[in-house]
A and B are shown apart, each in its own frame.
Chain A
Amino acid sequence: SAVISQKPSRDICQRGTSLTIQCQVDSQVTMMFWYRQQPGQSLTLIATANQGSEATYESGFVIDKFPISRPNLTFSTLTVSNMSPEDSSIYLCSVRHSSYEQYFGPGTRLTVT
């Protein structure tokens, strides 16, 4: 399995600002994923991030709102831009294991006021 860390673990932000979430993995991985979990809800995939290429976004998510960087094989960032209270969620990054399961980071709890 992989050890994944995320920063920050939680934050309270004001409407209209942006927050960048970092995800660090202890081993090199080809693909990293970003999920959103709204309060009391299930996980929804935001985008898939490959190193060296543009992220692939799922329906309902756009690059202007959730820009992603993937500068190397162990690191990725997700920015939540121009935040509104509806963006209050847990944001999780994950990596795919060679045996198909995904391992998740501890999540970033975002509250937008």
Chain B
Amino acid sequence: AQKVTQAQTEISVVEKEDVTLDCVYETRDTTYYLFWYKQPPSGELVFLIRRNSFDEQNEISGRYSWNFQKSTSSFNFTITASQVVDSAVYFCALSDGYNFNKFYFGSGTKLNVKP
């Protein structure tokens, strides 16, 4: 069965600190996709990144970076030099390998960035 675990319920950091959000997934599929979404207080989910199971290259986009390791079934998200605007709930998600339409979301990590 597919499952996504985000063990960190809530994290608080001070602005300019680096922070890593953990995501561990379970699947028996060989082909699957992993995603990160941001949900600011306004409530709308914002797509951040997609990674397929065959691409283990790490990705960097500005202050954001993602570390995908199949060996540990992890897809962690790091924010460098955090800012107050990064405060949000972040969700990691996994798509079903047979039905890519079905998403399995983790429970989310609430990030509080204090000035």
Q: Could you list which residues of chain A lie within 8 angstroms of chain B, going by C-beta atoms?
A: 1, 31, 33, 41-45, 48, 90, 92, 94, 96, 99-107, 109
Contacts and interface: CB of A to CB of B under 8 A. Distances in A.
Given A90-B43, A96-B100, A106-B43, 15 more contacts: A1-B47, A31-B101, A41-B107, A42-B91, A42-B105, A43-B45, A43-B91, A45-B102, A48-B102, A92-B45, A100-B52, A100-B95, A101-B33, A104-B45, A104-B47
Contacts of A109: 43
Nearest to B110: A40
Interface of B: 33, 35, 37, 42-45, 47, 50, 52, 91, 95, 100-103, 105-108
Contact of A96 (B45, B52, B101): B101
A107 B44 contact: yes
A106 B44 CA distance: 4
Contact of B103 (A31, A41, A102): A102
B108 A104 contact: no
Nearest to A10: B43
A92 B47 CA distance: 14
- 3 smallest CB-CB distances across A and B, nearest first, come from A104-B45, A106-B44, A42-B105
B44 A101 contact: no
A103 B47 contact: yes
20 contacts: A41-B107, A42-B91, A42-B108, A43-B105, A44-B105, A45-B102, A45-B103, A96-B101, A100-B95, A100-B100, A101-B33, A101-B50, A102-B47, A102-B103, A104-B37, A104-B44, A104-B45, A105-B44, A106-B43, A107-B44
Nearest to A104: B45
Contacts of B95: 100
B50 A99 contact: yes
A100 B50 contact: yes
Contacts of A96: 100-101
